[in-house]
With several copies, the nearest count.
Chain A
């Protein structure tokens, strides 16, 4: 637990060293969501209709994009192997890094989502649910993403291969997340979807660190 804190602190201080860095994933999120009114339609009713899906797709892509920055340099400069050699268990390292990743990338998304919702004409109730769904869903994305990035980090063009491996695993979260918001926006019951998101989170908290740690050791060789 002590080491968990230390790794998280270190990650955060690396990120916050150039203070503007934590706004990038956010900016990406805002940019992608605002591309849709331009590319599809600026009409309010239509926008509100596609909004849940767009918010979730954008969140998913922006988390995906942040993974590389969080893991790759640690592999290349040898600091991951040094942590392992200091006796820190692989799954703890993953857990700590995924947590830091979520703090830097996932949490800001959750906080900014309501504003995007307003811009896309989503109504209040649906907007709050979107935020809640993102709050439960994004940590799973960070954890599952950790598996993918650890499998591909040693490879050239790993970035795109990463996508190929990880997006299929993200899709259930996407479906339930988006459908929770959709249900809320037409006044239906959405608790089922949220419960499934929570179940996915628990499952990935239990399993993903081990899978990712195994992948990490393979990549280090």
Chain B
């Protein structure tokens, strides 16, 4: 039952699987991305209040979701690494950071730009915006801490501790719109209730959300493979792989 878990823990196994899977995932990602863009930019209607600016939603919301999801993944992987001393978990955790930071920055930037036509200002200091900014700082702190250590193992553990501590910020971001009355929109997508959105806008949004997730997985796999190579440089399979690739 735990077999797959231990297999996952083997960098070599992960490397080969990731290499096999990524092309397929990439194809899926490209097609979903394209479909989402075409539907969102061309076929979906403008909002009766916001006009065409609503099209920013199709990238803002997926990016914002990803920024939070990736942080949780990073923290959970870090925790697994700390508790079970699993190499692979740390590799995942570390590889997540820069992708997550990018999505956080994108959510902030697209949100800020969207704010100008809708709220009349690029930036207000409301709870959700602020907590998202804090999330960016947490990502940056994670990366800075990891690069400040000379020893990779110590760096992994230290940054995992930081990721775990920072996880408290995630519920704050999510519930901020409920806890404080703010400018920012409340939840539009919820599993329990029927979405309040028109299907012609809902579909492109959902497709983009899935496409962004796939993008994350594909990019993560690339990053992980690079990282595995560096860390397993003493393993014979890596030596062989490097030697083969030279010819």
Direct contact of A and B (CB under 8 A): yes
A8 at the B interface (CB under 8 A):
no
List A contacts of B141 (CB < 8 A). Answer: 161, 164-165, 168
Return B183 CB to nearest CB of chain A, in Å. Answer: 10
Q: Is the interface of B mostly helix, strand, loop or mixed?
A: helix
Query: Known: A19-B147, A164-B144. Is A147-B165 also a contact (CB below 8 A)?
Result: yes
Asked if B148 is at the interface of the complex by the 8 Å CB criterion, the answer is yes
Least CB distance from B136 to A in Å reads 9
Out of A19, A38, A119, A168, name the residue touching B137 (CB < 8 Å): A168
Which of A20-28, A105-113, A129-137 participates in binding chain B?
A20-28
B2 within 8 A of A: no
A18 B148 Cβ-Cβ under 8 A: yes
Q: Which residue of B lies closest to A164 (CB)?
A: B141
**Contact of B134 (CB < 8 Å), options: A23, A155, A171:** A171
Known: A42-B126, A152-B145. A164 touches B158 (CB 8 A): no
Chain A at the B interface: mostly helix, strand, loop or mixed? Answer: helix
Assess the A161–B144 pair: CB atoms within 8 A: yes
Please name all residues of chain A whose beta carbon is closer than 8 Å to the beta carbon of B82 when the two chains form the complex. 214
Distance to closest chain B CB from A203 (angstroms): 8
Using CB atoms, name the residue of chain B closest to A167: B137
Asked if residues B161 and A164 are in contact (CB atoms below 8 Å), the reply is no
Which single residue of chain A is at the shortest CB-CB distance from B136? A168
| Residues from chain A with Cβ under 8 Å of B158 in the complex | 151, 215, 218-219
- Given A169-B168, A214-B157: 4 more A-B contacts, CB < 8 Å: A151-B158, A152-B145, A158-B148, A169-B165
Interface residues, chain B, CB within 8 Å of chain A?
82, 121-126, 130, 133-134, 137-138, 140-141, 143-145, 147-149, 151, 154, 157-158, 161-162, 164-166, 168-169, 172
